[in-house]
Amino acid sequence: MRGASLELAAGEILAVTGASGSGKSTLLHCLAGMVTPDSSMVEYAGERLGLLPGKRLSELRRTDFGVVFQFGQLIPELTAADNVALPLLLAGASRAAARDRARAWLERFGVRGQETLRPGEMSGGQAQRVALARALVTAPKAVFADEPTGSLDSLAGEQVMTALIHTARETGAAVVLITHDARVAAYADREVSLRDGVVTGSGTLPTASAAAPSSGSTEVSR
């Protein structure tokens, strides 16, 4: 990153676009607190992530942040239900409650009946739906999705994006979409472009709906 600056409002869906190597994934990792910038800051709801102890960062990633990676990154030894239940178990939920909630979210994302499948037994579309359910099961305030349809065909990609956006609108979660696909970016309220680690363009998309009013935001600035 080379001085990129942006702000994400509660309830807003933001697309971050740019060529490969432009810094999109690095920006997402900074916003989600997975990488600490060498300089500047990332602020979430009044807290500077770079100043927080590791325990607090881990707590935010379990409760307030949901992350979806391009290839899902599900735990191969766990079933679909156990993958989705894991964040709840780490947050202290009982196994029975976590599994019940995981099954409800799997049904919500259209993979009912796949609870006992392990990642190696799933199609790409099924695995990405399970990854989305895992990211959203804790009702996070911000969802960070890195090329969420990059490994999917057009139909599966459209189904995944529809499910993600519908759920985000329903829960009020803010979403950051990292993508080089104009069809994915079209789901957002606003698009920013990155080039060589710098935000070079920003604008509201023509078909976007208004973002929800914000009581807090995630911001990265110089």
**Distance of alpha carbon 196 from alpha carbon 55, whole angstroms:** 32
Domains of the chain plus CATH, in order, are 6-76+125-221 (3.40.50.300)
- Is the pLDDT at 3 greater than 60? The verdict is yes
Listed range (88-92, 132-136, 201-205) with the worst mean pLDDT: 201-205
The answer to whether residues 212 and 170 touch, using CB atoms and an 8 Å cutoff, is no
Banded model confidence at residue 219, pLDDT cuts 50, 70, 90: low
- Is the pLDDT at 50 greater than 50? The verdict is yes
Question: Helix 124-136 crosses helix 154-171 at what angle (to 10 degrees)?
Answer: 10
Could you report the per-residue pLDDT of 106-120, keeping only the tens digit for each? 998 888 888 999 999
> Dihedral of the CA atoms 190, 68, 168, 21 (nearest 10)?
0
The model's pTM is 0.83
CA distance readout (Å), 85 to 97, 183, 193: 9, 31, 35
The answer to whether residues 71 and 58 touch, using CB atoms and an 8 Å cutoff, is no
Sheet containing 41-44: give its strands across. Answer: 6-9, 217-221, 41-44, 47-48
